[in-house]
Amino acid sequence: MEFGLTREQTMLLDSLRDMGKRENFKELAVQIDKTGEFPHWLMEKYAKVGLLGMTLAAEYGGEDLESLTAILAIEELAKFSPMIAAPVFESNVGPVRVINLFGTKEQKEKIIPGVCKGSLSVSVCMTEPAAGSDLTSLVTNVQEKKDHYLLNGNKVFITGAGVASHYLVYTRFEEIPGVKGIGAVLVEKDTPGFSFGKQETFLGLRGMPSCALYFDAVKIPRENLVIPPGDFGNLMLAFDIERCGNAAMCLGIAAGAFEEAKRYVMERKAFNRPLCEFQNIQFSFADMAMKIDAARLLVYRAAAGAGKGLPSIYEASMGKCFANEMVKEVTDTALQILGGYGYSVDYPLERMLRDARAWQVAGGSLQMLRITMASMIFGRRFDQRK
């Protein structure tokens, strides 16, 4: 097995570190958290250096790079803040990958070049008031008309809502029951009948747009069908690379917290000795390092094994589940090491801890991930309704 990075990947990480210092991303992370406003100027800057659409098809403006390269970039930027990493996440492992893999030529030509330039973005729309972990219970539906589809229903907790230009809506077709009735259509922001709820305020991830969506007899052109009913498996396969991106955010936050705590214990003294000379502190750092590296290997395995395609469900679920739990534990330990300073808003650890908690909720709960892994282990599907 090869554990080293390529020369190009190493150069990419070095350039991101230089960008972080040059643009003072540490201070930017503080400002985003305080104001709750996303710095949209990052889109143009990222587009200029080729960070947007790295994994997308070269013929439409992407770079055809492997998923692991995007995962590395997300992790590095998330050391500052997941909000600073968000554009790279959305444009490389987000719902635009569904279009890149399964969309029509016309859909790709219409959307992918804009995503690579930072002028367009795609939001995935899955969760409903009564359907989260159980996506087969979706009630948002489309009815097939003579020359279009008619979409009705609503979604909640949709990342990017109100800001994204396009929305990949997971929906039921013609009241067909169960998984066979679910597919996906593309809805543009200003389509008549499509509206947004109020922006949500969360414990962490300040600056991340999120709100409810409402579809009231929204007319969808036939050419906006991305995944027909019956191909739900393709939607979930594509979602597994997004889960790797979720896990990469966790790697970045944990590594950022680790470095902050490391810097502190090398400078702060107690009993006339640097804190790093105390055995309990050493044990804490050894434990944090092991957890981060273990999660990193699981996530990298899932992303690298997929190459330019999609990761295995088992590996993506395991990587996300482990990383989600790891980041909560590491940020909590790092905050404890800083004591009162860690709990103060003048230091980044309390923000990192708040941001860390989000990933266990987003992109599939820990419980559902474990059920998925168990299904793969036993080679059978466990019906939670029984």
Tens digit of each residue's pLDDT, the chain (386 residues): 677 899 999 999 999 999 999 999 999 999 999 999 999 999 999 999 999 999 999 999 999 999 999 999 999 999 999 999 999 999 999 999 999 999 999 999 999 999 999 999 999 999 999 887 777 888 999 999 988 999 999 999 999 999 999 999 999 998 888 889 999 999 999 999 999 999 999 999 999 999 999 999 999 999 999 999 988 777 777 788 899 999 999 999 999 999 999 999 999 999 999 999 999 999 999 999 999 999 999 999 999 876 666 778 899 999 999 999 999 999 999 999 999 999 999 999 999 999 999 999 988 889 999 999 999 999 988 877 77
pLDDT of 233: 78
Please, where in the chain does CATH 1.10.540.10 lie?
Answer: 7-117
The one-character DSSP state at 209 is -
pTM of the model: 0.94
CATH 2.40.110.10 in the chain is located at 122-230
Question: Can you name the CATH fold of 7-117?
Answer: Butyryl-Coa Dehydrogenase, subunit A; domain 1 (1.10.540)
pLDDT of residue 1: 66
DSSP state letter for 56: S
* CATH of region 233-378: 1.20.140.10
Token pair 């992370």 is found at 29
Burial (CB < 10 A; 0-12, 13-18, 19+), residue 23, is middle
Decide if domain 122-230 falls under CATH 3.40.50.720. no
For β-strands 273-274 and 141-144, DSSP reports them as unpaired
pLDDT for the residue 381: 83
Give the model's pLDDT for residue 111. Answer: 97
- C-alpha 55 chain-centroid distance: 15
123 is written with which tokens?
Answer: 């939001």
User: Residue 17 corresponds to which tokens in the numbers above?
Assistant: 């570190």
Inter-residue contact 183 to 165 (CB < 8 Å): no
The amino acid that residue 22 corresponds to is: R
Element (H, E) at 84: helix 82-92
- Taking alpha carbons only, the member of 98, 313, 298 closest to residue 185 is 98
The contacts of residue 284 (CB under 8 Å, 6+ apart) are 333, 337
pLDDT at 175: 82
Angle between helix axes 67-78 and 232-267 (nearest 10 degrees) is 40
Residues near 21 by beta carbon (within 8 Å), at least 6 away in sequence: none
- pLDDT reported for residue 132: 77
Question: What pairs with residue 221 in β-bridges?
Answer: 148
The pLDDT of residue 198 is 96
Kindly list the distances between the CA atom of residue 79 and the CA atoms of 107, 232, 282, 288, 323, in Å, as whole numbers in the listed order. 34, 34, 22, 15, 14
pLDDT value for 308: 65
Residues 265 and 258: their CA atoms lie apart, in Å, by 11
Start-end of CATH 1.20.140.10 domains in the chain:
233-378
